[in-house]
């Protein structure tokens, strides 16, 4: 049985949904990040980064006799679960890298930028218009990238639903929190609604509920020994932990970012900005593979 150290946040929900889709037996061990459980020694023994989610799998990737595996970072966990089961990630090498490309797009873009917007727009002790505008613009840009991709394919990695979609969906849902109207991004809205209707996504989206004890359950609608982790759940967002940054620190950070943002580009930088969009859908972001490669992110 896989132990899942988690809490009901978008990053936690990624793993909950994947486990439900794959039908793997797992046990939820709640880590109340609002109460500081992520700093307890027993959790730090699992992950040095004191961030949820993390997993321990005593069976490892090779079945009952495999070596025990402990992992943190939601993207790494999704790849592990996909490779353990042979599902939710293509076996064809090119298609597999396409899946990993869009997974990294979520890990490096959607998650951090959406999270920063939520922090500055909803939870920061001081409203900083520059920060809100900066991250709001990036949230809208990332929606445009997703919409363009989803006009070309049913799911992010192609025709099949997979871990790239599972990673991105929990961040795209509840768009009103980011002042986003999904109807302005019709391909994203179509994709979102298709995933939201999946039973495993609905179950996984309610997983990780705080409780006194760990809970044992089976994924994909199997037997549930203790059903307390189902039911209604109000997510506790990780960016509520705002008191670790003072208002002075936030102001200094934004001043530095503003200075860097306005720094004049050299000629070759401008030329790269003009050329890159033809190679990458992510608005000219580096790095990318040229010539025969199509990977970008």
Q: Are residues 80 and 226 in the same domain?
A: yes
Q: Are residues 245 and 100 in the same domain?
A: yes
Residue 33 clears pLDDT 70, i.e. is over it: yes
CATH of the domain at 10: 3.40.30.10
- Of 69-83, 128-142, 252-266, where does mean pLDDT reach its minimum? 252-266
Q: Are residues 103 and 177 in the same domain?
A: yes
CATH of the domain at 173: 1.20.1050.10
Q: Are residues 29 and 125 in the same domain?
A: no
The verdict on residue 290 lying in a domain is no
Q: Are residues 189 and 128 in the same domain?
A: yes
The verdict on residue 152 lying in a domain is yes
The pLDDT of residue 170 is 97
The verdict on residue 269 lying in a domain is no
The verdict on residue 99 lying in a domain is yes
Q: pLDDT band at residue 59, thresholds of 50, 70 and 90?
A: confident
The pLDDT of residue 291 is 42
Q: Are residues 98 and 193 in the same domain?
A: yes
- For the entire predicted model, the pTM comes to 0.74
Average pLDDT of the residues in 112-127 = 96
**Closest alpha carbon to 209 in 195, 223, 226, 191:** 226
**Other CB atoms closer than 10 Å to residue 229's CB: what's the count?**
24
The verdict on residue 285 lying in a domain is no
The verdict on residue 297 lying in a domain is no
The verdict on residue 268 lying in a domain is no
The pLDDT of residue 228 is 29
The pLDDT of residue 78 is 98
* pLDDT tens by residue, 63-87: 566 688 999 999 999 999 999 999 9
The pLDDT of residue 206 is 78
Residue 236 clears pLDDT 60, i.e. is over it: no
The pLDDT of residue 7 is 96
CA distance 78 to 63: 17
Q: How many domains does the chain divide into? A: 2
* pLDDT tens by residue, 262-281: 444 443 443 333 344 555 67
Residue 223 clears pLDDT 90, i.e. is over it: no
- Of 61-65, 171-175, 221-225, 255-259, where does mean pLDDT reach its minimum? 221-225
Q: Are residues 66 and 208 in the same domain?
A: yes
**Closest alpha carbon to 243 in 83, 71, 126, 82:** 126
* pLDDT tens by residue, 148-170: 999 999 999 999 999 999 999 99
**Other CB atoms closer than 10 Å to residue 47's CB: what's the count?**
19
CA distance 13 to 17: 6
- Of 46-60, 110-124, 234-248, where does mean pLDDT reach its minimum? 234-248
Structural domain of 178:
93-160+162-197+241-263
Which has more pLDDT, 231 or 59?
A: 59
The pLDDT of residue 151 is 98
**Other CB atoms closer than 10 Å to residue 175's CB: what's the count?**
20
Q: Are residues 186 and 212 in the same domain?
A: no
Question: C-alpha distances in angstroms, 25 versus 5, 22, 156, 187, 216?
Answer: 14, 9, 27, 34, 8
Q: Are residues 41 and 138 in the same domain?
A: no
Q: Are residues 180 and 37 in the same domain?
A: no
Domain boundary among 232, 250, 282: 232
Q: Are residues 14 and 82 in the same domain?
A: yes
Q: pLDDT band at residue 261, thresholds of 50, 70 and 90?
A: very low
The verdict on residue 132 lying in a domain is yes
Contact (CB, 8 A) for 28 and 6: yes
Q: pLDDT band at residue 60, thresholds of 50, 70 and 90?
A: confident
Enumerate the β-bridge partners of residue 217.
26, 224
Q: pLDDT band at residue 211, thresholds of 50, 70 and 90?
A: very low
Q: Are residues 122 and 252 in the same domain?
A: yes
Q: What is the mean pLDDT of the chain?
A: 79
């Amino acid at each position: 049985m896989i132990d899942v150290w988690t809490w009901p946040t978008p990053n936690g929900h990624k793993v909950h949904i994947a486990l439900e889709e794959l039908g793997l037996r797992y046990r939820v061990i709640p880590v109340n990040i609002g109460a500081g459980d992520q700093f307890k020694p027993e959790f730090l023994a699992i992950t040095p980064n004191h961030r949820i989610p993390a997993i321990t799998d005593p069976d490892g990737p090779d079945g009952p006799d495999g070596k025990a595996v402990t992992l943190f970072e939601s993207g790494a966990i999704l790849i592990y679960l996909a490779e353990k089961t042979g599902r939710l990630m293509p076996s064809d090498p090119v298609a597999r890298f396409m899946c990993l490309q869009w997974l990294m797009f979520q890990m490096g873009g959607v998650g951090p930028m959406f999270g920063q917007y939520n922090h500055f727009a909803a939870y920061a002790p001081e409203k900083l218009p520059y920060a809100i505008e900066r991250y709001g613009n990036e949230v809208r840009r990332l929606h445009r990238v997703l919409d363009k991709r989803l006009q070309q394919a049913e799911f992010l990695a192609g025709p099949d639903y997979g871990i790239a979609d599972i990673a991105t969906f929990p961040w795209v849902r509840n768009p009103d929190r980011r002042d986003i109207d999904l109807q302005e991004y019709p391909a994203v809205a179509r994709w979102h609604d298709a995933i939201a209707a999946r039973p495993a996504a609905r179950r996984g989206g309610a997983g990780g509920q705080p409780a006194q004890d760990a809970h044992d359950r089976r994924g994909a609608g199997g037997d549930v020994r203790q059903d307390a982790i189902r039911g209604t759940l109000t997510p506790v967002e990780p960016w509520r932990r705002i008191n670790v940054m003072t208002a002075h620190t936030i102001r200094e950070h934004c001043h530095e970012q503003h200075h860097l943002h306005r720094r004049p580009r050299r000629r070759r930088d401008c030329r790269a900005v003009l050329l890159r969009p033809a190679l990458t859908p992510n608005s000219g972001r580096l790095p990318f593979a040229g010539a025969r490669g199509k990977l970008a992110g």
